[in-house]
Structure 1
């Protein structure tokens, strides 16, 4: 299976918070999943923790390399810049990642790298992987919470994404 490409400053194990979630689902296509994930206007329909999505240059709602957008998640207004955007291609996983940040002083500043990988597996299966690393005091607070709210919310995002992709195939 493939893996996430990490910028050095966001390498898991060196940041204040890290979570990894993945699912493997039979009967979905990479294209169906990609269509739901790359279209940010679909997100609130299957993931309630992403709202108020706005593209700075009006280019949205579809993600693209270099796109700059913002959205609200976990009560934070996150600014984001798409740093990796690789649509599905035969034999290669689809990838999208963004650097996100929340402005603030030392107590409120948050910097994240959120990455997704969608790959076809043998046996008519699709793997959907999302991983995120975070730096900053809010990240340390999230990492110390039990149950981990980011881990649980990202699992809900995966589950909702898979359900939306399945519904789109019918």
Structure 2
């Protein structure tokens, strides 16, 4: 079975930015439909991912993400403004895709961080689901994150994946 890939906007292609993180899980006994609501509803993130806080939407949008929605959350010590720039719910034969451009700091400043964070959630044969998250980052803070060992982005995103899987399993049992 062919697995799908993240769609990258110009300027955020991995290898051409200061930092790139890629994490993936494939687990049996869950479906994309069971995982998706936990990802598509940012207010749920802090319930299963401790590195996410103070989520709120702008312009009366939410609680579920939609293409073009502006929202805010805090993660990795950064106050992140974000705008959803891809949203496709999973369907039969089609992976779920959600992505956002996030930013912190003033444009042109040394503390400016720009990211493209993308997710792909797809059903695989045998009753398995694949959850892939990848993020590219630009700016001096991105270079500092890249140089840090152990890599905080890889570890943090793995916690997010482990949390979403555990939350989906708990929800399924209820």
- TM-score norm. by structure 1 comes to 0.98
Counterpart for residue 13 of structure 2: 11
Q: Report the number of matched residues.
A: 170
Of 108, 111, 120, the match for 1:108: 111
C-alpha distance after superposition, 1:59-93 (max 9, x if no partner): 12211111100110111111000000000111010
Of the candidates 23, 28, 31, which is equivalent to residue 30 of structure 2?
28
Q: What do you get for the CA RMSD once the two structures are aligned?
A: 0.8
1:136-155 equivalences in 2 (<5 Å): 136-155=139-158
| Residue number in structure 2 paired with 1:52 | 54
1:162 and 2:172 aligned: no
Structure 2: which 5+ residue stretches go unaligned?
none
Query: Which 4+ residue blocks in structure 1 deviate beyond 6 angstroms?
Result: none
Query: Which piece of structure 1 moves more, 51-60 or 17-26?
Result: 51-60
TM-score by structure 2 length? Answer: 0.96
Given that 1:106 and 1:137 are in contact with CA atoms closer than 8 Å, whether structure 2 keeps it comes out as: no
Structure 1 unaligned segments of length 5 or more: list them: none
Other-structure match for 1:118: 121
